[in-house]
């Protein structure tokens, strides 16, 4: 198959997928669980891919993702709350000091930009650190960001530690799909450019990469900033999905969850991260929900089933993946036409 035909087929498939999603929404109504899973899955797909760019492609073990999502989510919310509602939202701060609102698509972009700025600042000191020290330092920075946002004195801007709400949210499930698809597309283009090759070189062997003339710090900084930009956009989408946003929810547990999605999908596989996101969200929000409620079959009460059991089963499954299926769904390969063809080829031999 020629490269151009392959691209056309790829785009057609993507369009078909969008159409399918749109039809599902039409058929099921916006309130059904399928739609919820699709929405949240699309948001998490972007966030997971942005984390994969760092951890999977550049080999930087960063645990700061929740912090950048927080920055993005807050930037979005703060600038899009309608003027009329500000007094009630900022009830302890006389309506806050930001007395204007900007269109939501600008706010999404701004969310990414602000997150990227934070990343550029934080990156300067921490990117010089090695593997696990980097992990713990980025984790620390995420906590510091959270504390700053909750700081009472910043309340007129951030509403302190209180909920932000009433900003514009999704009206259709296609919105997160389109935004995520565009963003993931850009990340894919970057990965397949000469810079992406340099990232992978750094991941494989820092010393050799440096000896090949790759400026380690500048490339790490680039990956970090780009990843944080998209984490910020993802944070804004998450805020839109949830309808409310509060700094308290962006704990390190959130980063761990995204990291686990990346691992399940395969470190260094964009398509893996996307698939794992939908799978993860569908399991945690939907397919395994029944484990949380008590079930009676006749007079027999099924043992173990009660609130919290879902998460236990879920975390055991994750541990099994981490221990015995370490490469995840995709390893570091991508979903492609060749994958199916080669398999067929092997079979015919």
Task: Give the integer Cα–Cα distance in Å for 118 and 113.
Answer: 9
Among 1, 84, 207, 347, binds other proteins (CB under 8 A): 207
Minimum CB separation from other proteins for residue 172, in Å?
12
Question: Which listed range, 107-115, 176-184, 210-218, 339-347, lies at the site for other proteins (CB under 8 A)?
Answer: 210-218
Residue burial 210-233, b: 16+ Cβ < 10 Å; e: rest:
eeeebebeebbbbbbbbbbbbbbb
Task: Give the integer Cα–Cα distance in Å for 346 and 248.
Answer: 52
Question: Which listed range, 101-109, 111-119, 228-236, 278-286, lies at the site for other proteins (CB under 8 A)?
Answer: 278-286
Kindly report the length of the chain: 349
Question: Which listed range, 44-52, 101-109, 289-297, 341-349, lies at the site for other proteins (CB under 8 A)?
Answer: 289-297
98 touching other proteins, by CB under 8 A: no
Task: Give the integer Cα–Cα distance in Å for 229 and 116.
Answer: 5
Minimum CB separation from other proteins for residue 108, in Å?
18
132 touching other proteins, by CB under 8 A: yes
Residue that has been written with the tokens 């397919």 in this structure: 287
Identify whether the C-beta of residue 18 lies closer than 8 Å to the C-beta of residue 174. Answer: yes
Using CB under 8 A as the binding rule, the residues of this chain from 290 to 319 that contact other proteins are 292-293, 306-309, 311-312, 314-316, 318-319
Task: Give the integer Cα–Cα distance in Å for 209 and 201.
Answer: 6
323 touching other proteins, by CB under 8 A: yes
**Strands in 113-200 per DSSP E:** 164-165
Minimum CB separation from other proteins for residue 305, in Å?
11
32 touching other proteins, by CB under 8 A: yes
CB count within 10 Å of CB 123 equals 24
Lookup: tokens for 137: 């330092």
Question: Which listed range, 97-105, 106-114, 175-183, 253-261, lies at the site for other proteins (CB under 8 A)?
Answer: 253-261
Question: Which listed range, 7-15, 42-50, 96-104, 288-296, lies at the site for other proteins (CB under 8 A)?
Answer: 288-296
Convert residues 139-178 into a mask of x (bound to other proteins by CB under 8 A) and - (unbound).
xxx-xx-xxx-xxx-------xxxx-xx--x---------
209 touching other proteins, by CB under 8 A: yes
Q: Which is nearer to other proteins, 40 or 180 (CB)?
A: 40
Convert residues 211-250 into a mask of x (bound to other proteins by CB under 8 A) and - (unbound).
xxxxxx-----x---x--------------xxxx-xxxx-
CB count within 10 Å of CB 166 equals 17
Question: Which listed range, 8-16, 100-108, 204-212, 295-303, lies at the site for other proteins (CB under 8 A)?
Answer: 204-212
Q: Which is nearer to other proteins, 107 or 135 (CB)?
A: 135
**Longest CA–CA separation in the chain, Å:** 74
**DSSP states of 9-50:** HHHHHHHHHHHHHHHHHHHH-TTSHHHHHHHHHHHHHHHHHH
Task: Give the integer Cα–Cα distance in Å for 116 and 226.
Answer: 7
Identify whether the C-beta of residue 247 lies closer than 8 Å to the C-beta of residue 239. Answer: no
CA dihedral angle for residue 206, residue 211, residue 212, residue 214, rounded to 10 degrees: 60
Q: Which is nearer to other proteins, 18 or 150 (CB)?
A: 150
How many H-runs (helices) and E-runs (strands) does the chain carry? Answer: 15, 4
338 touching other proteins, by CB under 8 A: no
Question: Which listed range, 44-52, 102-110, 132-140, 336-344, lies at the site for other proteins (CB under 8 A)?
Answer: 132-140
334 touching other proteins, by CB under 8 A: no
Task: Give the integer Cα–Cα distance in Å for 108 and 69.
Answer: 12
Among 21, 46, 135, 179, binds other proteins (CB under 8 A): 135
50 touching other proteins, by CB under 8 A: no
Residue 301 DSSP symbol: E
Minimum CB separation from other proteins for residue 54, in Å?
12
């Amino acid at each position: 198959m020629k490269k151009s035909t392959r691209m056309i087929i790829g785009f057609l498939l993507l369009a078909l997928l969008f159409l399918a999603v749109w039809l599902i929404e039409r058929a099921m109504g916006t309130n059904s669980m399928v739609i919820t899973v699709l929405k949240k899955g699309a948001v998490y797909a972007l966030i997971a891919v942005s984390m994969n760019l760092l951890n999977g492609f550049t080999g930087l073990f960063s645990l700061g993702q929740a912090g950048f999502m927080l920055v993005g989510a807050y930037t979005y919310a703060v600038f899009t709350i309608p003027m009329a509602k500000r007094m009630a939202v900022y009830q302890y701060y006389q309506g806050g000091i930001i007395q204007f609102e900007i269109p939501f698509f600008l706010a999404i972009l701004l969310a990414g930009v602000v997150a990227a700025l934070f990343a550029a600042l934080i990156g300067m000191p921490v990117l010089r650190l090695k593997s696990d020290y980097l992990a713990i330092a980025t984790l620390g920075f995420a906590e510091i960001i959270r504390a700053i946002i909750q700081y009472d004195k910043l309340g007129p801007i951030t509403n302190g530690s209180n909920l932000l709400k009433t900003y514009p949210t999704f009206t259709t499930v296609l919105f997160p799909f389109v935004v995520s698809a565009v963003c993931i597309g850009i990340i894919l283009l970057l990965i397949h450019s000469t810079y992406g090759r340099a990232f992978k070189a750094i991941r494989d062997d820092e010393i050799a990469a440096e000896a090949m003339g790759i400026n380690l710090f500048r490339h790490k900084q680039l990956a970090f900033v780009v990843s944080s930009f998209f984490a910020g956009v993802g944070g804004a989408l998450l805020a839109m999905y949830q309808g409310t946003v509060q700094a308290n929810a962006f704990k390190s547990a959130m980063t761990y969850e995204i990291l686990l999605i990346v691992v399940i999908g395969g470190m260094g596989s964009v398509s893996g991260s996307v698939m794992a996101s939908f799978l993860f969200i569908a399991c945690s929000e939907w397919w395994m929900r029944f484990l949380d409620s008590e079930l009676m079959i006749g007079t027999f009460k099924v043992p173990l089933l009660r609130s919290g059991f879902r998460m236990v089963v879920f975390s055991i499954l994750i541990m099994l993946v981490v221990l015995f299926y370490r490469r995840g769904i995709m390893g570091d390969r991508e979903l492609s036409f060749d994958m199916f063809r080669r398999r067929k080829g092997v079979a015919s031999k």
